[in-house]
Amino acid sequence: MTAHRTSTGTDPTGGRPVVPSLGRQRPLGLNEVQLTSGFWATLQATNAAATFEHCEHWMERLGWLANFDRVAAGTTGPDRPGWSFSDSEVYKLIEALSWEFGRSGNPAADEAVRRLTARIAPAQDPDGYLNTCYGHAHQQPRYSDLEMGHELYCTGHLLQAAVARLRTTGEDELVRVARRAADHVCETFGDDGLRAVCGHPEIEIGLAELGRALCEERYLEQARLFVDRRGHGTLRDIPLGRAYFQDDVPVRKADTWRGHAVRALYLAAAAVDVAVEYDDASLLDAVRRQWAHAVARQTYLTGGMGSRHQDEAFGADWELPPDRAYCETCAGVASVMVSWRLYLATGDIRYADLIERTFLNVIATSPRSDGRAFFYANPLHQRVAGNWPGEDRVSLRAESGARAAWFDVSCCPTNVARTLATWHSYAATAGEGELTLLQYAGMRISADLGCGRTLGLEVATSYPDDGLVVVRVRQAPAEAVALRLRVPSWAHGAMLEEGERRHDVAPGTAVVDRELVPGEEIRLHLPVTPRFTRPDRRVDAVRGCVAVERGPLVFCAESVDLPPGTRLDDVTVDTSHAPMDGDGGVLVRGLVGPETDAEPSWPYAAAADGAPGCAEAAEIVLVPYHRWAERGPSEMRVWLPATARDRTTR
């Protein structure tokens, strides 16, 4: 691994969630990239205007915040509300608010951080332990349920919140609380302490990043210890098996991700952090191998990960049923975390491709357009229209088929909030004499390319609706620099325009390597015409089906768009007609109607029987998947059966 060493761990203008001390690419800081318009700027604005306040409201209402007050007052009892991990939601909200204050300077975000910190700090025990569910009157002892208790998981989120504060504001009370908590973890679980791990990885990421931010080697070392310890059967076996919390195989020996998807991916992210900091090539290779395997065989078209509802887990290879897809929003966030770290370490553009797919088709799908309701699970087929639980109800189920205002287990809303608040930081990276545009949005960039060279750009685009990306040079050094633009894997036929010169560019990276002139424009044309996509034949749950994609967006059919009296189950797509842009979405030609008029008493028949049906030719409207169920609960399908002659998959 070469050569980019960063030194701005606590720089308040840094504003970056991940700052590896070594890597091929350097993430840009808050002072270097700002969104100005478009899809993601809108989501960031809604996040700021609605989601933070919404989350705090629910945490107050359900007593999750008052849990801290009760610990401080010594009034804990057996009636503590919330799951054992509810503290972590408060920390994720503080993290989100901290990034937001750094991004926008909105004093309300800063005030909220201070308000929440003032509730949390008094609940910390003198030795640094901080958890409202264990270790106090009428509670189980500390660390008595490492398998499912989530104590270190909560601490990990506290540390990530402190990192956000350090990198946007500087050291404050929250950071001091986090330092004490991290010291307590090192003293309790260090080489001479409990040889144990937490059932839910997360502490590892928090320790690694706080260690980076504070230049505290001890925290990095503890993160390395936790990563190395896992996989040796340290945790008690449970009915779901030790693979559930990745304690079945050591990270560096595993071939793919297993068990609970969010756990597996948080652990993988931490393993990359440790691999980079300790220059551990075999550990980094192990995660790259796992990524490649899981992306090739265990990932949905949307980028969603986790097929199984029972244990919120990865399925076997090719086990990707669309209706039983779990694809937890948090697993999407965690997948981005892994891919981002791998990209920074290696510079391999494929990681940015998956990040885009996941951002647009998993993470952007979760929040309702007003930022006050969320999907937890993200299936690719909703057989029965969901039940809207109402604005005032907590959803007890993750799989309701409708966005919910809040959940009994409410990990996803705060994960969306903290990710949206930092979206700009995934848009571009810098290297020695080079800048790479990874994600396309209206934005302003002024990046340090080393040795005092600054490259200033203005990016204008309506992407992903439109494929034209205009990069206007505002400031450039008087020497050659490399401007690299990601060409997504689907973008066959892309074209780059530099003044009078036009040339084709292939998926991967288009490079402009020369002296840039302030005022000039470079235009990237990405072909975002709608296209059919087929599954590998081994994804048997959708064999014989097609999906429609347009640029980076996955589309879906919703029952609300069908002709009256027809059902989504009765749609067949005719792939001899290419999908087309149309009013309200993408149009496909097909047949709507049952294969037979007869109502069966048994839904199977001899293979040779082909009773005539009453299907009618129709044009079917498809809408971006990320906006499904915005018009009320509906049935929905991403994968649609194709006409018989097209039912051969590659």
Report phi then psi at 408, rounded to 5: -60, -45
What letter represents residue 205's amino acid? Answer: I
Minimum separation from the CB atom of position 334 to Zn ion (A)? 9
Minimum separation from the CB atom of position 500 to Zn ion (A)? 51
Distance, in Å, from the CA atom of 471 to the CA atom of 467, rounded to the nearest integer, reads 13
Contact 305, 327 (CB under 8 A): yes
Position of minimal CB gap to Zn ion:
330
The single residue among 213, 269, 330, 516 that binds Zn ion, judged by CB under 5 A, is 330
Segment near Zn ion (CB under 5 A); pick from 237-245, 328-336, 498-506, 604-612:
328-336
Minimum separation from the CB atom of position 376 to Zn ion (A)? 6
Distance, in Å, from the CA atom of 611 to the CA atom of 620, rounded to the nearest integer, reads 24
Distance, in Å, from the CA atom of 39 to the CA atom of 613, rounded to the nearest integer, reads 43
Minimum separation from the CB atom of position 154 to Zn ion (A)? 15
Judged by beta carbon, residue 311 or residue 328, the one nearer Zn ion is 328
Segment near Zn ion (CB under 5 A); pick from 320-328, 347-355, 580-588, 638-646:
320-328
Segment near Zn ion (CB under 5 A); pick from 99-107, 329-337, 440-448, 491-499:
329-337
Binding mask 394-413 for Zn ion (x = CB under 5 A): -----------------xx-
Q: Does 331 bind Zn ion (CB under 5 A)?
A: no
Judged by beta carbon, residue 62 or residue 412, the one nearer Zn ion is 412
Binding mask 112-141 for Zn ion (x = CB under 5 A): ------------------------------
Judged by beta carbon, residue 328 or residue 434, the one nearer Zn ion is 328
Minimum separation from the CB atom of position 414 to Zn ion (A)? 9
Residues 6 or more apart from 451 whose CB is under 8 A from it? none
Distance, in Å, from the CA atom of 325 to the CA atom of 556, rounded to the nearest integer, reads 15
Task: Extract the tokens encoding 53.
Answer: 């306040």
Judged by beta carbon, residue 162 or residue 330, the one nearer Zn ion is 330
Judged by beta carbon, residue 412 or residue 592, the one nearer Zn ion is 412
Judged by beta carbon, residue 85 or residue 219, the one nearer Zn ion is 85
Binding mask 271-310 for Zn ion (x = CB under 5 A): ----------------------------------------
Judged by beta carbon, residue 280 or residue 328, the one nearer Zn ion is 328
State how far the alpha carbon of 264 is from the alpha carbons of 92, 179, 224, 298, 352, in Å: 19, 26, 16, 13, 20
Judged by beta carbon, residue 33 or residue 412, the one nearer Zn ion is 412
CB atoms near residue 105 (< 10 Å): 11
Contact 300, 325 (CB under 8 A): yes
Distance, in Å, from the CA atom of 30 to the CA atom of 427, rounded to the nearest integer, reads 12
Minimum separation from the CB atom of position 330 to Zn ion (A)? 3
Distance, in Å, from the CA atom of 428 to the CA atom of 457, rounded to the nearest integer, reads 11
Segment near Zn ion (CB under 5 A); pick from 166-174, 322-330, 568-576, 640-648:
322-330
Tell me the CB-side half-sphere exposure of residue 512, using CA atoms within 13 A.
Answer: 26
Judged by beta carbon, residue 32 or residue 95, the one nearer Zn ion is 95
Segment near Zn ion (CB under 5 A); pick from 327-335, 562-570, 572-580, 596-604:
327-335
Judged by beta carbon, residue 328 or residue 549, the one nearer Zn ion is 328
Contact 160, 137 (CB under 8 A): no
Minimum separation from the CB atom of position 364 to Zn ion (A)? 15
Minimum separation from the CB atom of position 271 to Zn ion (A)? 21
Minimum separation from the CB atom of position 149 to Zn ion (A)? 18
Distance, in Å, from the CA atom of 204 to the CA atom of 225, rounded to the nearest integer, reads 9
Minimum separation from the CB atom of position 415 to Zn ion (A)? 6
Residues 6 or more apart from 239 whose CB is under 8 A from it? none
Contact 624, 555 (CB under 8 A): yes
Distance, in Å, from the CA atom of 485 to the CA atom of 277, rounded to the nearest integer, reads 28
Residue positions counted in the chain? 650
- From the list 314, 231, 220, the residue with the least C-alpha distance to 265 is 314
Distance, in Å, from the CA atom of 577 to the CA atom of 166, rounded to the nearest integer, reads 55
Binding mask 412-451 for Zn ion (x = CB under 5 A): x---------------------------------------
Minimum separation from the CB atom of position 173 to Zn ion (A)? 28
Judged by beta carbon, residue 254 or residue 412, the one nearer Zn ion is 412
Instruction: Tell me, by CB under 5 A, how many residues bind Zn ion.
Output: 4
CA 266 to chain centre: 11
> What's the count of helices (H) and strands (E) in the chain, helices before strands?
14, 24
Contact 570, 594 (CB under 8 A): yes
Minimum separation from the CB atom of position 329 to Zn ion (A)? 5
Minimum separation from the CB atom of position 17 to Zn ion (A)? 18
Pairing type for strands 480-487 and 508-515 reads antiparallel
Distance, in Å, from the CA atom of 449 to the CA atom of 340, rounded to the nearest integer, reads 20
State how far the alpha carbon of 243 is from the alpha carbons of 156, 541, 635, in Å: 21, 24, 34
Minimum separation from the CB atom of position 413 to Zn ion (A)? 8
**Nearest 10 degrees: Cα torsion 445, 447, 453, 456:** 0
Judged by beta carbon, residue 88 or residue 422, the one nearer Zn ion is 88
Judged by beta carbon, residue 179 or residue 626, the one nearer Zn ion is 626
Can you list the positions of beta strands (E) in 294-433? 381-382, 394-395, 406-407, 428-431
Segment near Zn ion (CB under 5 A); pick from 167-175, 326-334, 491-499, 513-521:
326-334
Judged by beta carbon, residue 25 or residue 410, the one nearer Zn ion is 410
Using CB under 5 A, list all residues that contact Zn ion: 328, 330, 411-412
